[in-house]
Amino acid sequence: MKITCLQMDMRFKKPEENFARAAALIEAAAAEKSDVMVLPETWNTGFFPKEDLAALSDRDGERVKREIGALAKKHGVNIVAGSVSNVRGGRVYNTAMVFDQEGTCIAEYDKTHLFTPMGEDAFYTPGDSLCTFTLAGVKCGLIICYDIRFPELVRSLTVPGLDMLFVVSQWPKVRTAHLRTLTTARAIENQMFVVCCNSCGRAEDTVYGGSSAIIDPWGETAALAGEQEEIISADIDLSILTKIRSTIPVFRDRRPELYHI
């Protein structure tokens, strides 16, 4: 399976420019003939405009479904369409959407852990459900940025069985080492592939660090981006999942009766 991350430098508070840029990156990446493309977090608005947030947001994902869904169908590619600022039922959510090769939205996820140090919780409503889906026969899960710091969330996704975790983020450059460490740890401890698509560039006073990565279950990095806008791809060998899980049977050896959180 070939995976492509679209490490986008979005324009703060400029959804028109950002939709055009996301489409341009998808078109450019189409030559890669990937099975899955991935966008970063809140790519329509940047992270995140406190003034006029609702006005700048999508409406129940309608534009994402219309435009990104059409591109998925046009190129016959699955798209994990990052997340967008999204108004639904009078509230703003940080919503991720996934499209199959026919352009159908097969999964949606509202970010469950809002980043309180930047006040995200004062402007967005948290989600209350987890997200799993299947792409090309591969069992996948999806989380957004700050969610990666909560291993109990990821383990809740992986205990029933998961082969790949997508992490879409707007992670600041100052903590890039944390992003690399946490994504690698989640891959190793859960014996799965982790695909992290981060943003880059600047939004107000925050510089975002890029460093999008495709990581295998051994913790090895198959592809790694720099700090600028970039498209990275990797062909991943799903057959190694069986080998690592039989060699180190972590899930068989769990002792859930001892775990009290």
Rounded to whole angstroms, how far apart are CA atoms 244 and 163? 12
Residue 260 has pLDDT above 90, yes or no: no
Which one from 41, 108, 120, 230 is the annotated catalytic residue?
41
Q: Express each pLDDT in 41-55 by its tens digit.
A: 999 999 999 999 999
- Assess whether 13 carries a catalytic annotation: no
* pTM higher than the cut 0.85: yes
Q: Express each pLDDT in 92-135 by its tens digit.
A: 999 999 999 999 999 999 999 999 999 999 999 999 999 999 99
DSSP letter string, the chain: -EEEEEE--PPTT-HHHHHHHHHHHHHHHGGG--SEEE--TTTTT-S--SSSHHHHSEETTHHHHHHHHHHHHHHT-EEEEEEEEEEETTEEEEEEEEE-TTS-EEEEEE-SS--GGGTGGGTSPPP-S--EEEETTEEEEEEEGGGGG-HHHHHHHHTT--SEEEEEE--BGGGHHHHHHHHHHHHHHHTSEEEEEE-EEEETTEEEE---EEE-TTS-EEEE--SSSEEEEEE--TTHHHHHHHHS-TTTT--GGG---
Which one from 5, 13, 65, 111 is the annotated catalytic residue?
111
- Assess whether 111 carries a catalytic annotation: yes
Which one from 5, 131, 140, 145 is the annotated catalytic residue?
145
- 93, exposed or middle or buried, with CB in 10 Å at 0-12, 13-18, 19+? buried
Q: Express each pLDDT in 137-191 by its tens digit.
A: 999 999 999 999 999 999 999 999 999 999 999 999 999 999 999 999 999 999 9
Which residues are bridge partners to 59 per DSSP? 87
